[in-house]
């Protein structure tokens, strides 16, 4: 099953909302530090409601620490970015994909994008709108991957 990776998230309610989505779908959530908040942040906890016991949460202090986990497990790194090469609905997802999302303010850093197996974008009709909210982007990408892989039953 695809996994969600947040690299340097900054806004606790977004991460809490993403945790709820991951809890509801049984998806592992990886947080790669440094974070813009403490894991114990009350806004993070509030956004996740009482679903935290159902979140398969992994915290990695650095990108290097996360790379070690990825190397042990395998799978592709798919970086979501407004400058991606592939429309996410036309991309063929695999069960061992890692869906990477960057911080709300800067997105994925170039050094991560350069090592992704593919970069994906979510198309937007209004050119003046730069991006979607992080939690919305994660939900869109995760549910498309799950749809393609037959996990929506």
Annotation: binding site for S-adenosyl-L-methionine: 102, 122, 131
Q: Determine which helix (DSSP H) or strand (DSSP E) holds 24, and give its type and residue range.
A: helix 12-25
**Which ranges of 33-132 does DSSP label H, i.e. alpha helix?**
42-47, 63-73, 110-113
Whether residue 92 contacts residue 149, with contact meaning beta carbons closer than 8 Å, is answered with no
d(CA 85, CA 79): 10
Q: Residue ranges for the binding site? A: 102, 122, 131
Evaluate the omega torsion of the peptide bond into residue 34 and state whether it is cis, within 30 degrees of 0: yes
> DSSP letter at 106?
T
- Find out whether 57 and 21 touch, Cβ atoms under 8 Å: no
Gap between the Cα atoms of 4 and 63, Å rounded: 14
């Amino acid at each position: 099953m695809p996994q969600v990776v947040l690299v340097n998230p900054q806004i606790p309610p977004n991460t809490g909302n993403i945790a709820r989505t991951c809890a509801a779908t049984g998806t592992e959530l990886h947080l790669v530090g440094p974070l813009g908040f403490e894991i114990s942040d009350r806004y993070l906890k509030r956004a996740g409601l009482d679903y935290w016991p159902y979140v398969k949460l992994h915290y990695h202090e650095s990108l290097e620490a996360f790379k070690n986990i990825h190397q042990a497990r395998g799978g592709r790194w798919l970086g979501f970015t407004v400058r991606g090469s592939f429309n996410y609905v036309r991309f063929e997802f695999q069960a061992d994909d890692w869906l990477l999302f960057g911080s709300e303010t800067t997105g994925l850093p170039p050094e991560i994008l350069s090592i992704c197996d593919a970069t994906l974008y979510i198309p937007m009709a209004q050119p003046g709108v730069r991006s979607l909210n992080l939690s919305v982007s994660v939900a869109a990408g995760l549910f498309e991957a799950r749809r393609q892989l037959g996990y929506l039953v």
